[in-house]
Homo-oligomer: A and B are copies of this chain.
Amino acid sequence: MNNLILASASPRRKELLELAGFDFEIITADVDEVLDASLTPSQLVMSLAFQKASAVAAEHKQSTVIGADTVVVLDGKVLGKPHGNTEAKAMLTELSGRTHEVYTGVCLIKGDKMHQFFECTKVSFYPLESELIDSYVASGECNDKAGAYGIQGKGCVLVKGIEGDYFNVVGFPVARFCREIKAFA
């Protein structure tokens, strides 16, 4: 395989790719994310993954570029990253005691070749007391996370169970990726 580029600044995606034994570099581009409200969640994450990957691929035509994007969806409504503690509390209150979906889209681009896929994982939260929400938000972990929680951090205590790939919830479906890139390369 030629050199591999991860077009994402997420430390969690970097860690998962390293764990799976990939050798890669990280190059990101500023993307004005275009959100088309008519897209389904799976189309949305693949579209955002494509936007991130293609911006980098345009400058690195010999490399295989990986883009990825993750969103949280409750009752068909997309929850992005919260803007401040008030919105974080509101999101966690909405998620409390319920099951939501986490979608991650992945896009691979090399020159003229392109491949996209997505994974969806269901996540069920315990009913959350307001003191738990307050202390979790105060920890500062919510800020850069879709849906205002990180399952791999202190957010582990919020989650009753999941159905699907855990690492997809963390932000990158690494096991599926290993198989998809083998078919792509």
User: Copies per complex?
Assistant: 2
Instruction: Report the Cα distance A159→B168, complex, angstroms.
Output: 11
User: Which one of A24-32, A65-73, A174-182 is at the B interface?
Assistant: A174-182
Q: Which interface class (under 10, 10 to 19, 20 to 34, 35 or more) fits A?
A: 20 to 34
Q: Chain B residues near A176 (CB, 8 Å)?
A: 160
Q: Chain B residues near A153 (CB, 8 Å)?
A: 19
Contact of A19 with B174 in the complex, beta carbons under 8 Å: no
Interface residues of A (CB under 8 A from B): 16, 19-21, 121, 126, 151, 153-154, 156-167, 174-176, 178-179
Given A19-B154, A162-B162, output 20 extra A-B contacts at Cβ < 8 Å. A16-B156, A19-B153, A20-B154, A20-B156, A20-B157, A151-B166, A156-B167, A156-B174, A156-B175, A157-B174, A159-B165, A159-B166, A160-B165, A160-B175, A160-B176, A161-B164, A161-B165, A162-B163, A162-B166, A166-B166
